[in-house]
Structure 1
């Protein structure tokens, strides 16, 4: 960022699965708000802000030229604090402003109450899941079950158990969803650092909240319609936590007019992975859902595009 450039030249995405947008586009609005925070002189007049050069890989982009992405202004209660306040001020009340700023980067200020009720290390994970399910309409209830179940089961797994875990088979969508979540965790590191560390960094280190093979196993089970008790490996102590975390995510999503439905119900109303092949659904900056409109995020064309802030604003 010191040179006005940021890069991410690797990803795990299935070009044949037209239902999931690229990671580069899903998390771009968050990065744009972080740019606004770091480029303090741009918070009032977005048109004068310099564009950040993004070298992010996605289908159709050969990375010959960067995407020129402008900062996106955000709304923080009490106004956006300066970096000096976020990074250097040690007053206890500033920690509240740090969290407000972090949630503003995700555009999830309305979810503050729900997230505060979540215990560590699942608070940051729930924030990320809420953002993903609001942004990507083709994620369904079975996906949410798999994400939460693996996070809970991970707490009781030893390293040797995880190493020896072998999924029945490899599902490309499960791989892409796992990669999408890990990319979200790295995005959380960026946001948390920029906001002065309102959350402990350990709360979203992958080894505390996510394991790829364990998620793959839970995804395959959830996809087949296994009961929640099976996903949680018949551990009753996890059942209450599971339903609490699920309720937090679903309630927060409902505040954003996003109802998470099961695959059977969802498939008849959405074009995507479980419906008409070749279409997808992704909430863009205006809140408009692209379900059934093809894959605009996969047809952006290579490099040298300028992205104005309004293009990605959900409201």
Structure 2
């Protein structure tokens, strides 16, 4: 606990101290589109990964039961009047999940392998370690997240995958000035939504990395290393318009093979999990369906008819939810703060 507190004070870990000391985690803001019924709330998408991370951090008690974790996570339909009690779920780590003393303090190549495999198991990728370790660290981390996302959200298409892969490959060769100078004729709301989902996932990567003893350098998983909103908008719109791979990769022939390899890897992993990624071009515009949420049934949450989003009438569409604290003696944390990844 002393080590965790020191890392927490120095912003060297993410969310671990609060989970270990109080059994509580919170996320007070979320950029989501209430009209897009095909993409679930970010909290729900990443909950299975968080459950594995909780299992890595918390010791099981008598009978193998873990203490429950209190989650204060904002998403549409959750009034945040009380925390959700989440059960940790042990990940499928080859040889079993190492204890924290091993993950955090032990040294040697075998321990490094355990850290990496435990991290991957949190995202159901423990069988893909050899291929992922062959990639540059930022690309490997991004690939872990993107593969997990493609497996969990069934509405994501081949065009979405192409846009994300083109983003990570093209981003490396661009300066800050080039990115700032990108001009877009229009902004697609679904691309904004997907970008926000991905960036939220990066915080889950950071938490898993902290819990597993840092198999990655934290800098390699930071949003500014692997994501740019305007560049993703460009790649998303190009992909959904049916542009060629050559255009997606800006004519850079050296990126063609990495593009095909990353895309093939993600499709292969998804196929093994019986998730077929299909083509679904959306052209220049997107109107989300309003009838039914199309995603993994395990994420389905009952809509609570008594709860109305504070922005329901004023701002349909994209809202940044930041509920005010209820105050009083309820023990509810102050959710007016914005939580950012440690620098």
* TM-score in terms of structure 1 length: 0.84
Q: Deviations over 1:241-285 (max 9, x none)?
A: 111111111111111111211115x9xxxxxx8896422332255
CA shift at 1:11, angstroms? 0.9
Q: CA deviation at 1:180?
A: 0.7
**CA 1:42–1:172 in 2, change beyond 3 Å: closer, same or farther?**
farther
Q: 1 CA distance for matches of 2:102 and 2:52?
A: 17
Specify the alignment match of 2:16 in structure 1: none
1:13-32 to 2 correspondences below 5 Å: 13-32=32-51
SS, match of residue 25 in structure 2: strand
| Distance (Å, rounded) in 2 between the aligned partners of 1:80 and 1:189 | 19
Partners of 2:304 and 2:265 in 1: how far apart? 34
Q: Deviations over 1:37-60 (max 9, x none)?
A: 1111349623xx322111111011
Structure 1 CA distance for aligned equivalents of residues 293 and 109 of structure 2: 44
Aligned mates of 2:124, 2:131 — CA distance in 1: 14
Distance 1:66 1:172 in 2: 30
1:279 — aligned with what? Answer: 292
Q: Are 2:19 and 1:6 aligned?
A: no
Deviation at 1:29, TM superposition (A): 0.9
- Contact 1:263–1:274 (CA<8 Å) still a contact in 2? no
In structure 2, the residue matched to 1:179 is 196
1:98 aligns with 115
Residue 169 of structure 1 pairs with residue 182 of structure 2: no
1:209 to 212, 226, 251: 226
Where do 4+ consecutive residues of structure 1 move more than 3 Å?
Answer: 273-277
Is 2:32–2:193's contact at 8 Å kept on the other side of the alignment?
Answer: yes
Residue in 1 that maps onto 2:326: none
Deviations 1:117-176 (A, max 9, x none): 333321111111111111111000000111011111111111111112232212111111
Deviation at 1:298, TM superposition (A): 6.5
Pair 172,252 (structure 1): closer, same or farther in 2 beyond 3 Å: same
The CA deviation string for residues 84-105 of structure 1, in whole angstroms up to 9 with x for no partner, is: 0000001221111111111111
Q: Of 121, 124, 136, which residue of structure 1 is paired with 2:141?
A: 124
| Aligned counterparts, 1:1-315, within 5 A | 1=19, 2-42=21-61, 45-46=64-65, 49-263=66-280, 277-285=290-298, 296-297=300-301, 299=303
1:280 aligns to what SS in structure 2?
coil
Alpha-carbon distance in 2 for matches of 1:66, 1:239: 47
- CA separation of 1:147/1:16 partners in 2, compared to 1, >3 Å: closer, same or farther? same
Q: Residue 198 and residue 284 in structure 1: after superposition, are their counterparts in 2 closer, same or farther (change >3 A)?
A: farther
Distance across 1 between alignment mates of 2:158 and 2:96: 36
Cα distance between partner residues in 2 of 1:108 and 1:44: 27
CA contact (8 A) 1:36 1:71 kept: yes
**TM-score normalised by L of structure 2:** 0.77
SS in 1 for 2:164: helix
Report what 1:311 is aligned to.
none
Unaligned runs of 5+ in 1: 267-272, 291-295, 303-315
Native 8 Å contact 2:38 2:289 kept in 1: no
SS at match of 1:93: helix
Cα distance in 1, alignment partners of residues 153 and 246 from structure 2: 27
Query: What CA distance in whole angstroms lies between the structure 2 residues aligned with 1:238 and 1:182?
Result: 23
